[in-house]
Amino acid sequence: MTDTILPPDSCTTMLEVRAGVDQTDRELMALLDRRFGYMRAAARIKPDRETVRDEGRKAAVISAAVSDASARNLPGKAIGDLWERLVEASIAYETEEWDRLRG
């Protein structure tokens, strides 16, 4: 398999579509790795465990994702649901890291 994938609108076979999806999933995983790296940094920087959960920040992040989804003509509700889970997973990970660093 080559590293070159076709843009979605240029795909004419399911093999091309699947190659694009698989490559996109690898790229998403790399981005998630970076995002969770920022959670590790936050756990290291935040002085108090109580500051790990910030409901205002959570709401702003999810709202921004939904707005961006709408601007891209993507399903806002589905993106909002994904981001809710992503942010909750990030908070849980950051909390675990905070505890690990100070344990």
Does the annotation flag 46 for ligand binding? Answer: yes
CB 66 within 8 A of CB 76: yes
CB 79 within 8 A of CB 69: yes
The token pair that represents 45 in the structure block: 């920087």
Domains of the chain, CATH where assigned: 11-102 (1.20.59.10)
For range 77-97, the mean pLDDT: 98
Report yes or no on whether pTM surpasses 0.75. Answer: yes
Does the annotation flag 94 for ligand binding? Answer: yes
What is residue 3's predicted lDDT score, i.e. its pLDDT? 63
Q: How confident is the model at residue 1 (pLDDT cuts 50, 70, 90)?
A: very low
Question: What's the maximum distance between 2 C-alpha atoms anywhere in the chain?
Answer: 54
Of the listed ranges 1-10, 33-42, 51-60, the least confidently predicted one is: 1-10
Within 8 A by CB and 6+ apart from 61, the residues are: 83, 87
- Is the pLDDT score of 2 beyond 80? no
